[in-house]
């Protein structure tokens, strides 16, 4: 409800300040994470055809405080009610329409200006009032929308808004009274007041040819190559205003007396709420294909339970999408993922990484259910191309990255490492992995560690996950990643056996 | 709207294998005689002959109209030429290309000019119908009564008046208009123009009218004015265009439908010229019979009467006519004569026979041997099977399938099995078959199994050995070869010879 300061401001005839529907802003995501987790592609998909830079930035700014994320998620909860969504969307569209009309005014002839201004006001007034009434009737629960509703109430009750509304109505009535007769002659246009004495030629044509009137025949269209607000239109309006002087004066004075149409706070809201609307539209596109989103909840006990999460980019690409789960009570936080090649390990890690990222923006996430810590930082270490100009080898590079990660990691960090330390012997790789993961474990960080070294999964403080083959065809992946020990049999061995290339086969053949 | 249906084409869909029929039954030769070079007649005839559907009622309706048209041939020809001339004048004088539907002023101008030409045509037609003797057939009587109910002198004169407003007033249009959102003009109402007015009234209107003169250097101005005219005129232009199109369509429909009857008149003349008999087919369930049936396409290429055929069979059940025997015996001609007559009969046209009776006006399908290459090949056989399968889905009880050496692209033993499978299935399903074939296994097995329902025809040979090119009932001589064998084997002298 109104705070005392706001109340005092009201008394002074001043509006309380608009508070952002976004809550607070976050800070820009790091380049590596954005690249490794394919965040830029994801944001492109979310934006769709919208190329608004302001919005793009918002989606690239994870929040640093859990409360800020919850503030936004609450707004989402309201907006996921269809009526609320439609109301907000309609409101934004009409505010934008009003803005467009005002913009048009800049270059319009005087005769049009008065009309554009009036319609900008009419559109705005109606938008604000119907949105306020509609939303209040539903009763939003989020702090964000409640705040804005209070703000709107003040706008509507302000003397400026009220008299603007009254005068706009009068001006429209005046304009509706105008009806003129226009005659095109060889060298120009003649305009006069229309007294209703003409005969409707179209009706006459229709009557005469009624026996030939075929209900659904061809429609003659008119495609204009010129605008609707040209000097010719202005001239016709000028003629009209000559014969309707009083009406014109009403229109002109309305524009003069109410130069500002749209309230600044309303304008900001319309711009900022697109953050929600755009994401909801994206969600709808994904949900149309049979997938679910859920509002994440943030755990405080270190546990993480994400059920049925999936990869948004694969859905978008129309590929077969398998969903997975991940679970921990918080005691062990290091997940080691092993298993067959192309078994969906990287997809699994990226999907969870994206999910965590979206949750830190205060956005609903692609999963059936998502309870997870609020990650204050997400870090990645994915394989990089060997760069000949760089002095470091890839192994050295891996070590540097690992150490940097350890330096910054804490108990609300999520680390996603893919095939780190894979350019050395498996024994050395195991040793490095052990060091790296032990450090993270000591810091109580969370980590998804994808590796071909099965021994890593035997570290006591880890949870071993394995990419399972398809039950129908053991040579094909199921893309399911489930808890369990690394596979005992290697795929490459199985294939060699099928082609009789194992020891015994060769022994029998080579005599 | 003027209602008429001189053809009763129904949904007018073509039979699925129309192109095959056309070639196999040499329909183009027949159509050429009927059309006498008129493209429209040719189109209509080809549509009528290849219709998927027909019925006894429709046949009779058309037969009645055909008789009527022959009796009133001058009126029919005159109606046809009025329709044709009117359409030609419109096409010559109206810039049809300008009827792009995004230019209302041009549409209004051109259609109103077109409408005035069409009104002349309607007036001429009205005069002809008023002074002509009355028709006797339902088809033409209904046309005349609907036409005169809709078109009268009063309509013609008021329509001319309205059309002339658009034709003559050019684009100096007058309209009322209101001001809507953004001060855009809205709700334009095109008004009937007032004639110039007296000098005095013009003086009085001074000051009551605001005038804006276009600057001669204003290049955009005229374009904008034209756009506004488009906007104001588009509704009237739509009505005019639809009316124009409907009137055109009336003439086009009438012309198309009449073209069938003009073709009938031409065909009747051809029959008379070479002395072909002319009979209207009968429908009689249980009978498939004809007397002196001529192959019409052969008649057109010979320009004389070919040798006719006669046949009468019990058709209380579906049947198969199997035609076999020496080449050049007129077998395929016989098949074509039947097919052509069936198509003419369904269309309601007379046929070149003394009499022609069919059990049903079923649809006709053909499956004729293709190409000159007689080499056996499974590729070709597969093609044949696919071609047959292609129309099999469409077959219905009472239809006719005409087969010319079907399945002969594989060896006769296995072809016989296929043929027997196919023909038995058709006949058992109520489809009638006429099949020119040399497949001995098939003929033997089929005729044995189907008895009366299998009719075997062979070329007639006189005792002298001379061919008559007629087909006559034949009979199998089972065991003939065996007998010969036995005979020969019992003659040791020959064997030892």
Residue A228 Cα, gap to closest chain B Cα (Å): 7
Cβ-nearest to B237 among A101, A220, A237: A220
Same domain as B303, residue B447: yes
Binning pLDDT at 50, 70 and 90, where does residue A149 land?
very high
Q: Which of A119, A222, A251 to mutate to test the interface with B (most CBs of B within 10 A)?
A: A222
Same domain as A443, residue A375: yes
Catalogue the long-range contacts made by B369-372 (C-beta closer than 8 Å, 24 or more residues apart).
B369/B404, B369/B405, B369/B406, B369/B408
In a domain, B342, yes or no: yes
Written as six digits, the tokens of B129 are 């119908």
Instruction: Report the pLDDT value the prediction gives residue A394, as an integer from 0 to 100.
Output: 65
List Cα–Cα distances, A295 to A70, B24, B159, B182, in angstroms.
Answer: 10, 72, 70, 43
Cβ-nearest to A220 among B2, B191, B234: B234
Q: Which residues of A touch B241 (CB under 8 A)?
A: 217-218, 220
Q: Nearest chain A residue to B105 by CA: give it.
A: A222
Same domain as A293, residue A272: no
In a domain, A416, yes or no: yes
The winner for highest mean pLDDT among A155-164, A184-193, B222-231 is A155-164
Same domain as A353, residue A249: no
Secondary structure (H, E, C), chain B: CCCCCCCCCCCCCECCCHHHHHHHCCHHHHHHHHHCCCHHHHHHHHHHHCECCCCHHHHHHHHHHHHHHHHCHHHHHHHHHHHHHHHHHHHHHCCHHHCCCCCHHHHHHHHHHHHHHHHHHHHHHHHHHHHCCCCCCHHHHHHHHHHHHHCCHHHHHHHHHHHHHHHHCCCCCEEEEEECHHHCEEEEEEECCCCCCCHHHHHHHCCCEEEEECCCCCCHHHHHHHHHHHHHHHHHHHHHHHHHHHHHHHHHHHHHHHHHHHHHHHHHHHHHHHCCCCECCEECCEEEEEEEECCHHHHHHHCCCCCCEEEEEEECCCCEEEECCCCCCCHHHHHHHHHHHHHHHHHCCCECCCEEEECCCCCEEEEECCCCCCCCCHHHHHHHHHHHHHHHCCCCCCCEEEEECCCCCCCHHHHHHHHHHHHHHHHHCCCEEEEECCCHHHHHHHHHHHHHHEEEEEEEECCCCCEEEEEEECCCCCCHHHHHHHHHHCCHHHHHC
Cβ–Cβ gap B234/A222 under 8 Å: yes
Written as six digits, the tokens of A477 are 């992946």
Instruction: Report the pLDDT value the prediction gives residue B495, as an integer from 0 to 100.
Output: 36
Average pLDDT over chain B, rounded to whole? 87
Same domain as B457, residue B351: yes
Same domain as B157, residue B284: no
Neighbours of A37 (CB within 10 A): 24
Q: Which of B115, B180, B210, B213 to mutate to test the interface with A (most CBs of A within 10 A)?
A: B210
In a domain, B470, yes or no: yes
Cβ-nearest to A184 among B101, B172, B246: B172
Same domain as B259, residue B307: no
Q: Taking the complete model, does pTM exceed 0.95, yes or no? A: no
Instruction: Report the pLDDT value the prediction gives residue A304, as an integer from 0 to 100.
Output: 97
pLDDT > 50? residue A508:
no
Q: Report CA torsion sign: B54, B60, B61, B63.
A: positive
Q: Nearest chain A residue to B99 by CA: give it.
A: A220
Binning pLDDT at 50, 70 and 90, where does residue A453 land?
confident
List Cα–Cα distances, A327 to A323, A334, B132, B238, in angstroms.
Answer: 14, 11, 96, 68
B 244-303: CB under 8 A from A? 245-247, 250
Burial (CB count within 10 angstroms: exposed 0-12, middle 13-18, buried 19+), residue A424: middle
Same domain as B436, residue B455: yes
Instruction: Report the pLDDT value the prediction gives residue B208, as an integer from 0 to 100.
Output: 83
Same domain as B248, residue B284: no
Same domain as A297, residue A263: no
Cβ-nearest to A112 among B165, B182, B231: B182
CA distance B422 to A126: 75
Q: Nearest chain B residue to A192 by CA: give it.
A: B209
Cβ-nearest to A240 among B174, B179, B182: B179
In a domain, A173, yes or no: yes
Decide if B222 touches A, using CB distance below 8 A.
Answer: no
For tokens 């226009």, what's the residue? A182
Average pLDDT over chain A, rounded to whole? 88
**CB proximity list for B492: less than 8 A, separation 6 or greater:** none
Cβ–Cβ gap A212/B155 under 8 Å: no
In a domain, B363, yes or no: yes
Q: What is the mean pLDDT of residues A5-14?
A: 52
CA distance A85 to A75: 10
Residue B262 Cα, gap to closest chain A Cα (Å): 27
Decide if B220 touches A, using CB distance below 8 A.
Answer: yes
Same domain as B60, residue B164: yes
- What DSSP line would sit under A375-402, residue for residue? -SEEEEE------TTSSS-HHHHHHHHH
Q: Which residues of B touch A227 (CB under 8 A)?
A: 224
In a domain, A60, yes or no: no
Cβ–Cβ gap B210/A211 under 8 Å: no
In a domain, B118, yes or no: yes
Q: What is the mean pLDDT of residues A222-226?
A: 83
Q: Nearest chain B residue to A186 by CA: give it.
A: B172
Q: What is the mean pLDDT of residues B306-311?
A: 92
For tokens 């499974």, what's the residue? B378
Q: Which of A176-185, A193-202, B382-391, B478-487 has the lowest mean pLDDT?
A: B478-487
Instruction: Report the pLDDT value the prediction gives residue B468, as an integer from 0 to 100.
Output: 77
CA distance B224 to B212: 14
Tens of pLDDT along A402-413? Answer: 888 999 999 999
Q: Which residues of A touch B176 (CB under 8 A)?
A: 179-182, 194, 198
CA distance B318 to B395: 14
In a domain, A215, yes or no: no
Same domain as A137, residue A272: yes
Cβ–Cβ gap B177/A224 under 8 Å: no
In a domain, A41, yes or no: no
Same domain as A261, residue A355: no
In a domain, B24, yes or no: no
Q: Report CA torsion sign: A110, A116, A120, A121.
A: positive
Decide if B228 touches A, using CB distance below 8 A.
Answer: yes
Q: Which of A174-188, A376-390, B342-356, B481-495 has the lowest mean pLDDT?
A: B481-495
pLDDT > 50? residue A19:
yes
Q: Which of B154, B182, B222 to mutate to test the interface with A (most CBs of A within 10 A)?
A: B182
- The residue among B267, B299, B325 that closes a domain is B267
Same domain as A303, residue A154: no
Same domain as A370, residue A472: yes
pLDDT higher at A426 or A30? A30
**Do A309 and A352 touch, CB atoms closer than 8 A?**
yes
Cβ-nearest to A219 among B1, B101, B212: B101
Give per-residue burial for A170-190: e unless 16+ CB within 10 Å, then b: ebbebbeebbbbbbbeeebbb
Q: Nearest chain B residue to A112 by CA: give it.
A: B183
In a domain, A49, yes or no: no
* Closest to A26 in 3D by CA, of A72, A56, A64, A57: A64
In a domain, B74, yes or no: yes
**CB proximity list for B24: less than 8 A, separation 6 or greater:** B336, B339, B366, B368, B402, B404
Tens of pLDDT along A455-479? Answer: 899 999 999 999 998 888 776 789 9
Decide if B4 touches A, using CB distance below 8 A.
Answer: no
Instruction: Report the pLDDT value the prediction gives residue A220, as an integer from 0 to 100.
Output: 83
Tens of pLDDT along B68-110? Answer: 999 999 999 999 999 999 999 999 988 766 566 788 888 898 8
pLDDT > 90? residue A234:
yes
Same domain as B292, residue B260: no
Q: Which residues of A touch B229 (CB under 8 A)?
A: 184
Q: Nearest chain B residue to A178 by CA: give it.
A: B178
- With pLDDT > 70 as the criterion, what percentage of chain A qualifies? 88
In a domain, A370, yes or no: yes
What CATH number is associated with residue B397? 3.40.50.300
What CATH number is associated with residue A403? 3.40.50.300
- What's chain A's Rg over C-alpha atoms? 33
Same domain as A152, residue A111: yes
Number of structural domains, chain B?
A: 2
**Do B419 and B407 touch, CB atoms closer than 8 A?**
yes
Binning pLDDT at 50, 70 and 90, where does residue B261 land?
very high
Same domain as B427, residue B318: yes
- With pLDDT > 70 as the criterion, what percentage of chain B qualifies? 87
Cβ-nearest to A218 among B101, B103, B250: B101
Q: Which residues of B touch A112 (CB under 8 A)?
A: 182-183
pLDDT > 70? residue A390:
no
Q: Which residues of A touch B247 (CB under 8 A)?
A: 212
B 169-208: CB under 8 A from A? 171-179, 181-185, 189-192, 205, 208
Same domain as B353, residue B259: no
Same domain as B158, residue B262: yes
Number of structural domains, chain A?
A: 2
Cβ–Cβ gap B242/A211 under 8 Å: no
Neighbours of B337 (CB within 10 A): 27
Same domain as A487, residue A391: yes
List Cα–Cα distances, A263 to A20, A158, B192, B379, B397, in angstroms.
Answer: 14, 11, 49, 80, 78
Q: What is the mean pLDDT of residues B301-317?
A: 91
The residue segments making up the domain with residue A504 are 289-509
- With pLDDT > 90 as the criterion, what percentage of chain A qualifies? 70
Cβ-nearest to B185 among A188, A204, A233: A233
In a domain, B13, yes or no: no
Written as six digits, the tokens of A57 are 């930035």
Instruction: Report the pLDDT value the prediction gives residue A473, as an integer from 0 to 100.
Output: 78
Residue A223 Cα, gap to closest chain B Cα (Å): 6
Instruction: Report the pLDDT value the prediction gives residue A425, as an integer from 0 to 100.
Output: 59
Instruction: Report the pLDDT value the prediction gives residue A506, as an integer from 0 to 100.
Output: 36
CA distance B44 to B21: 16
pLDDT > 80? residue B485:
no
Q: Which residues of B touch A185 (CB under 8 A)?
A: 172
- The residue among B267, B302, B337 that closes a domain is B267
Binning pLDDT at 50, 70 and 90, where does residue A503 land?
very low
Same domain as A351, residue A259: no
Tens of pLDDT along A91-103? Answer: 999 999 999 999 9
In a domain, B211, yes or no: no
Same domain as A148, residue A8: yes
Decide if B221 touches A, using CB distance below 8 A.
Answer: yes
Binning pLDDT at 50, 70 and 90, where does residue B344 land?
very high
In a domain, A59, yes or no: no
Instruction: Report the pLDDT value the prediction gives residue A1, as an integer from 0 to 100.
Output: 46
* Closest to B408 in 3D by CA, of B418, B397, B423: B418
Q: Which of A139-153, B84-98, B263-277 has the lowest mean pLDDT?
A: B84-98
Cβ–Cβ gap B192/A204 under 8 Å: yes
Same domain as B399, residue B282: yes
pLDDT > 60? residue B162:
yes
The residue segments making up the domain with residue B118 are 52-170+243-267
Q: Which residues of B touch A214 (CB under 8 A)?
A: 1, 242, 245-246
CA distance A308 to A326: 9
């Amino acid at each position: 409800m109104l705070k005392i300061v706001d109340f005092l401001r009201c008394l002074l005839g001043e509006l309380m300040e608009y508070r952002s529907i976004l809550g607070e802003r976050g800070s820009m995501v790091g380049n590596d994470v954005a690249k490794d987790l394919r965040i830029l592609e994801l944001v492109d998909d979310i934006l769709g055809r919208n190329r608004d830079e302001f919005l793009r930035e918002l989606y690239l700014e994870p929040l640093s405080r859990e409360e800020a994320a919850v503030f936004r998620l609450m707004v989402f909860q309201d907006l996921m009610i269809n009526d609320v969504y439609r109301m907000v969307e309609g409101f934004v569209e009409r505010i934008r329409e009003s803005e467009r009309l005002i913009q048009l005014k800049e270059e319009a002839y005087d005769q049009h200006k008065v009309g554009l201004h009036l319609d900008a006001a009419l559109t705005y007034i109606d938008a604000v009032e119907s949105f306020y009434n509609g939303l209040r009737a539903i009763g939003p629960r989020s702090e964000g929308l409640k705040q804005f509703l209070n703000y709107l109430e003040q706008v509507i009750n302000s003397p400026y808004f009220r008299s603007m509304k009254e005068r706009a109505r009068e001006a429209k009535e005046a304009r509706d009274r105008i009806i003129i007769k226009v005659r095109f002659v060889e060298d120009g246009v003649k305009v006069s007041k229309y007294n209703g004495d003409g005969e409707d030629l179209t009706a006459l044509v229709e009557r005469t040819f009624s026996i030939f009137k075929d209900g659904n025949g061809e429609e003659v269209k008119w495609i204009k190559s010129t605008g609707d607000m040209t000097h010719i239109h202005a001239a016709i309006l000028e003629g009209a205003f000559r014969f309707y002087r009083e009406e014109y004066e009403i229109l002109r004075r309305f524009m003069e007396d109410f130069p500002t149409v749209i309230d600044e706070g309303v304008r900001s809201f319309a711009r900022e709420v697109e953050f929600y609307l755009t994401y909801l539209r994206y969600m709808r596109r994904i949900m149309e294909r049979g997938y679910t989103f859920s509002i994440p909840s943030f755990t405080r006990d270190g546990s993480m339970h994400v059920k049925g999460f999936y990869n948004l980019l694969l859905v978008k690409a129309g590929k077969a999408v398998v969903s997975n789960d991940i679970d921990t009570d918080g005691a062990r936080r290091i997940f080691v993922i092993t298993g067959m090649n192309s078994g969906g390990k990287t997809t699994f890690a990226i999907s969870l990484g994206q999910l965590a990222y979206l949750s830190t923006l205060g956005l609903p996430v692609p999963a059936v259910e998502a309870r997870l810590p609020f990650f204050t930082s997400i870090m990645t270490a994915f394989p990089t191309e060997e760069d000949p100009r760089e002095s470091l080898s890839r192994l050295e590079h891996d070590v540097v990255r690992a150490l940097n990660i350890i330096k910054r990691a804490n108990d609300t960090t999520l680390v996603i490492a893919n095939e780190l330390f894979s350019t050395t012997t498996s024994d050395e790789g195991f040793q490095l992995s052990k060091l790296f993961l032990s450090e993270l474990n000591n810091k109580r960080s969370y980590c998804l560690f994808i590796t071909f070294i099965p021994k890593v999964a035997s570290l006591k403080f880890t949870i071993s996950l394995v990419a399972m083959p398809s039950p129908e065809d053991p040579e094909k992946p199921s893309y399911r990643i489930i808890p369990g020990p690394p596979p005992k049999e290697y795929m490459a061995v199985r294939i060699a056996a099928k082609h009789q290339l194992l020891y015994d086969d060769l022994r029998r053949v080579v005599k | 709207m003027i209602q008429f249906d001189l053809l009763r084409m129904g949904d007018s869909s073509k039979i699925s294998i129309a192109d095959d029929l056309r070639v196999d039954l040499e329909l183009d030769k027949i159509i050429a005689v009927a059309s006498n070079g008129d493209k429209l007649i040719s189109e209509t005839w080809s549509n009528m002959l290849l219709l998927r559907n027909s019925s006894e009622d429709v046949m009779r309706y058309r037969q009645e109209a055909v008789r009527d048209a022959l009796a009133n041939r001058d009126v029919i020809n005159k109606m046809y030429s009025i329709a044709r001339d009117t359409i030609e004048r419109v096409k010559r004088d109206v810039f049809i290309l300008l009827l792009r539907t995004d230019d209302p002023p041009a549409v209004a101008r051109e259609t109103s000019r077109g409408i005035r030409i069409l009104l002349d045509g309607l007036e001429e037609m009205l005069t002809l119908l008023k002074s002509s003797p009355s028709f006797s057939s339902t088809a033409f009587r209904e046309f005349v009564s609907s036409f005169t109910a809709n078109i009268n002198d009063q309509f013609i004169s008021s329509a001319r008046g309205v059309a002339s407003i658009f034709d003559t007033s050019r684009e100096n249009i007058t309209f009322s208009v209101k001001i809507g959102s953004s001060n855009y003009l809205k709700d334009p109402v095109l008004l009937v123009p007032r004639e110039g007015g007296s000098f005095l009234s013009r003086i009085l209107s001074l000051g009551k009218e605001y005038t804006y003169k276009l600057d001669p250097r204003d290049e955009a101005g005229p374009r904008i004015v034209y756009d506004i005219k488009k906007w104001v005129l588009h509704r009237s232009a739509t009505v005019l265009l639809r009316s124009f199109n409907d009137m055109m369509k009336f003439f086009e429909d009438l012309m198309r439908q009449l073209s069938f009857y003009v073709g009938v008149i031409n065909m009747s003349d051809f029959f008379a010229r070479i002395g072909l008999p002319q009979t209207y087919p009968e429908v009689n369930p249980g009978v498939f019979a004809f007397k002196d049936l001529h192959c019409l396409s052969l008649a057109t290429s010979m320009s004389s009467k070919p040798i006719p055929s006669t046949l009468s069979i019990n058709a209380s059940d579906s049947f198969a006519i199997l035609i076999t025997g020496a080449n050049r015996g007129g077998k395929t001609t016989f098949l074509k004569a039947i097919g052509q007559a069936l198509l003419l009969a369904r269309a309601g046209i007379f046929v070149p026979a003394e009499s022609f009776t069919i059990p049903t006006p079923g649809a006709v399908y053909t499956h004729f041997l293709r190409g000159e290459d007689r080499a056996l090949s499974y590729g070709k056989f597969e093609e044949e099977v696919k071609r047959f399968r292609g129309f099999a889905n469409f077959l219905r009880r009472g239809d006719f399938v005409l087969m010319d050496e079907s399945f002969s692209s594989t060896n006769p033993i296995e072809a016989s099995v296929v043929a027997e499978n196919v023909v038995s299935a058709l006949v058992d399903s109520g489809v009638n078959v006429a099949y020119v074939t040399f497949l001995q296994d098939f003929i033997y097995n089929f005729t044995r199994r189907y008895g009366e329902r299998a009719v075997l025809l062979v070329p007639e040979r006189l005792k002298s050995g001379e061919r008559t090119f007629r087909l006559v009932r034949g009979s199998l001589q089972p065991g003939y070869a065996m007998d010969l064998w036995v005979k020969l084997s019992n003659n040791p002298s020959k064997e030892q010879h």
